[in-house]
Chain A
Amino acid sequence: MQAIPLIFILSIVLFVLMQNIGDPLATLGGRTVTRAEDRKRLARQLGLDQPVLVQYVYWLAGNDWTKIDMNGDGIPETPGTRKGVLRGDFGTSLTERRPALDVIGDRLPNTLLLMLMAEFVIVAGSLLLGIYSALRQYSFFDNLVTGISFVGYSLPIFFVALVSVYIFSVNFQRWGLPHLPPNGMFDPNVGETVGQVLVHLILPVFSIAFISFAAYSRYIRSTMLEVLSQDYIRTARSKGLTRRNILFVHALKNASLPIVTIVGLDLPLLLGGAVVTERIFAWPGMGRLFLDGVSRGDTPVVMGILMIIAVAVVFFQIVTDLVYAWLDPRIRYG
């Protein structure tokens, strides 16, 4: 919770950095060169002529409590309309002339879809792998999983993505096999159907999951091993409970505690990790919006995305703590 005021301190730094990135006015005129007086007028109307700190205050707290100069005579006369981030107004996207929150909101579901699918595959897959290798510790399978996950952990996502597109999309097509689409979210000729989106999800989800399996399954394996050697497991076994019952009711609930932590901490990071993935797979999500925003100098959108992610990190930390307390009744937050 203490982190929230600090996010705003960090936001000053980011805001100032954003001021020197690109020229938002250059992209506004489209292909025609903007005339000097138009530039001046535009900058005034968008509030870009103000000193950085004034712009920051308007961004943070709005400007409806003051008057701004719209006609350029040096006397502020028009009351401001912006409410500021603190009251939920992220400003207007400089390039799209729509509220930044709407622009982000259009893309956010796509990113969430990708990330939640990936997280689901990661957790389900690594639970299977982790539990199986814990039950057969030091077996061939266990060593194989260990080896592969170590390699997967070291792979940069673009390499996994490029190789998987090369194999499953390009070469499968070449060999006449059913192949997966290399990019996009749906085939424009077919339209945005559930089936299309699912097919287009496979490769990006696989790429994200492949590099994350490692950490997760190792984690699950070690906590399962620890839990399985506990006294209460022996008790459960001596009571004659079925193996399945012991494994999934008694052991897994306790072993899942640390997993909740990494999922809670990773979810918002996955939101951010989408930048590269979305670029490779041309996925119309928030990461690509961020890259576009940075290259066009669209401060409201870029700052909006950064703030949403920062708040998501804090939010998930709190949720993680709550889930933790629910799973482990010994933990009490006073």
Chain B
Amino acid sequence: MDSATSVARLVPDELEAPPLSLRELVWRRFRRHKMAIFGLVMLVALLAYAFVPSFFISEDYANHTDTSLRLHAPSADHPFGTDTVGRDILARTIYGGQISIIIGLTAAILEVLAGVLIGAMAGYYGGLLDSLLMRFTEAMLNIPQIFLLIVMAKFFASGIPNIEFLGREYSGSVVVIVLIIGLTSWPYLARIVRAEFLSLKEREFVLAARATGTPTRQIIFGHILPNCIAPIVVTATLGVANAITLEAYISFLGMGVRAPTATWGNMLENANNYIESAAWLWFFPGLLIVLTVLSINFLGDGLRDALDPRSRTL
């Protein structure tokens, strides 16, 4: 859109209003994005679904096995049916959702930490460090992530103790899954951050910062990094969806989070043996994964448009 028409559309009080901060600008663009708002609303609903009912339903109930109730079809008592050992699927999708969402978030944080650190180092310092880090990144990208995940999941599979956290007991494999997803997801982000750093470090404001004796660490994290926040935010958002899907993939293959802890992914384990006989077993957790990933992708798409400095629409 050219500037003449966009200026002409502004109403007078918008022209006299103080300039918008970045956050206001982004929010303005974001809320115009219908799909993104839809994604955000759906995501809030899904978060509520996973976290609010835990005040009414105990985790013991979600993990309670009763073999006399195995593979019961959905009914009034068990709206989503029961699984192979008679656990209530509704309760398990609630507690499983918490773990799945937490896995998604923490793995994405790990991905961002690793990706930003490696990308920033390679881009800022250049030279030998850059070529070493980037060759390693490329090598990681040459093997599909799922293969790396399977080998690593199997490697760490044996003898993980359960952990206590906030008064609840979790299978230690949750931590393992978060670690391996985070540690195999960063290469894309590292390449993006490196590219941003390569161009940004040549700019005048970096030269000025250096001339005034700003410490290198502050130049990297205080001056350059905030300028490439947009792709990082978008990648992090999509990274959450990606981590949830990956958790589901390796759990589906039987190498994911171990019992008793439920996740949407490990509820799908062995689902292909029950495609015919017990569709409710895989349909509900599968649907929840799809809805979560879909809404996060919508959100990420909206953020991408809203954070893009070239998009001038208000």
Interface residues of A (CB under 8 A from B): 2-3, 6-7, 9-10, 14, 17-18, 20-22, 150-151, 153-156, 158-159, 162-163, 165-166, 169-170, 182-183, 268-269, 271-273, 275-276, 279-280, 290-291, 294-295, 302, 305-306, 309-310, 313-314
B146 & A272 in contact (Cβ 8 Å cutoff): yes
- With A273-B144, A306-B151 given, can you name 13 additional A-B contacts, CB distance below 8 Å? A6-B136, A150-B294, A151-B294, A154-B241, A155-B293, A156-B286, A158-B271, A275-B146, A275-B147, A279-B272, A291-B253, A294-B150, A309-B147
Residue in B closest to A9 when the chains form the complex, CB atoms: B139
B151 & A159 in contact (Cβ 8 Å cutoff): no
In the complex, what's the smallest C-beta–C-beta distance from A193 to chain B, in angstroms?
A: 25
On chain A, the residues within 8 Å of B138 by CB distance are 2-3, 6
Task: Known contacts A154-B290, A158-B252; decide if A294 and B139 are in contact (CB<8 Å).
Answer: no
Interface-central residue, A21, A153, A295, by most chain B CB under 10 Å? A21
Is there a chain A Cβ closer than 8 Å to B289's Cβ?
A: yes
**How far apart are the CA atoms of A162 and B290 in the complex, in Å?**
13
Interface-central residue, B139, B252, B287, by most chain A CB under 10 Å? B139
Interface-central residue, A3, A22, A154, by most chain B CB under 10 Å? A154
Task: Known contacts A6-B135, A162-B271; decide if A314 and B253 are in contact (CB<8 Å).
Answer: no
On chain A, the residues within 8 Å of B249 by CB distance are 156, 158, 276
Task: Known contacts A7-B142, A295-B154; decide if A162 and B275 are in contact (CB<8 Å).
Answer: yes
Task: Known contacts A273-B146, A280-B272, A291-B150; decide if A3 and B290 are in contact (CB<8 Å).
Answer: no
Q: Can you name 24 A-B residue pairings with CB atoms under 8 Å?
A: A3-B138, A6-B138, A10-B139, A18-B155, A22-B154, A150-B294, A150-B297, A153-B297, A154-B241, A154-B297, A158-B286, A162-B282, A163-B283, A166-B276, A166-B279, A272-B143, A272-B144, A273-B146, A275-B150, A276-B146, A276-B252, A306-B147, A309-B142, A309-B147
On chain A, the residues within 8 Å of B298 by CB distance are 150
A306 & B143 in contact (Cβ 8 Å cutoff): yes
Interface-central residue, A3, A169, A291, A294, by most chain B CB under 10 Å? A294
Interface residues of B (CB under 8 A from A): 35, 135-136, 138-144, 146-148, 150-152, 154-155, 241, 245, 248-249, 252-253, 268, 271-272, 275-276, 279, 282-283, 286-287, 289-290, 293-294, 297-298
B275 & A275 in contact (Cβ 8 Å cutoff): no
**How far apart are the CA atoms of A314 and B253 in the complex, in Å?**
27
**How far apart are the CA atoms of A73 and B252 in the complex, in Å?**
47
**How far apart are the CA atoms of A137 and B124 in the complex, in Å?**
43
Task: Known contacts A6-B139, A10-B139; decide if A158 and B248 are in contact (CB<8 Å).
Answer: yes
B142 & A182 in contact (Cβ 8 Å cutoff): no
Main secondary structure of the interface of B (DSSP, over half): helix
On chain B, the residues within 8 Å of A279 by CB distance are 252-253, 272
A166 & B143 in contact (Cβ 8 Å cutoff): no
A21 & B139 in contact (Cβ 8 Å cutoff): no
A162 & B286 in contact (Cβ 8 Å cutoff): yes
**How far apart are the CA atoms of A248 and B252 in the complex, in Å?**
43
On chain A, the residues within 8 Å of B252 by CB distance are 158, 276, 279
A166 & B135 in contact (Cβ 8 Å cutoff): no
Contact of A170 among B146, B245, B275, B290 (CB under 8 A): B275
On chain A, the residues within 8 Å of B151 by CB distance are 14, 17-18, 21, 294, 302, 306
7 nearest interchain CB pairs?
A272-B144, A6-B139, A154-B294, A10-B139, A159-B286, A310-B142, A313-B142
**How far apart are the CA atoms of A294 and B293 in the complex, in Å?**
29
**How far apart are the CA atoms of A9 and B135 in the complex, in Å?**
10
In the complex, what's the smallest C-beta–C-beta distance from B69 to chain A, in angstroms?
A: 23
A290 & B135 in contact (Cβ 8 Å cutoff): no
Interface-central residue, B143, B245, B248, by most chain A CB under 10 Å? B143
A9 & B136 in contact (Cβ 8 Å cutoff): yes
**How far apart are the CA atoms of A314 and B289 in the complex, in Å?**
33
A182 & B146 in contact (Cβ 8 Å cutoff): no
**How far apart are the CA atoms of A272 and B151 in the complex, in Å?**
13
**How far apart are the CA atoms of A14 and B154 in the complex, in Å?**
12
**How far apart are the CA atoms of A81 and B108 in the complex, in Å?**
47
In the complex, what's the smallest C-beta–C-beta distance from B156 to chain A, in angstroms?
A: 9
On chain A, the residues within 8 Å of B290 by CB distance are 154-156, 159
**How far apart are the CA atoms of A153 and B272 in the complex, in Å?**
22
On chain B, the residues within 8 Å of A290 by CB distance are 147, 150
Residue in A closest to B293 when the chains form the complex, CB atoms: A154
Contact of B143 among A20, A155, A280, A310 (CB under 8 A): A310
Task: Known contacts A9-B136, A156-B249, A159-B289; decide if A272 and B147 are in contact (CB<8 Å).
Answer: yes
Task: Known contacts A3-B135, A306-B147; decide if A314 and B248 are in contact (CB<8 Å).
Answer: no
In the complex, what's the smallest C-beta–C-beta distance from A19 to chain B, in angstroms?
A: 9
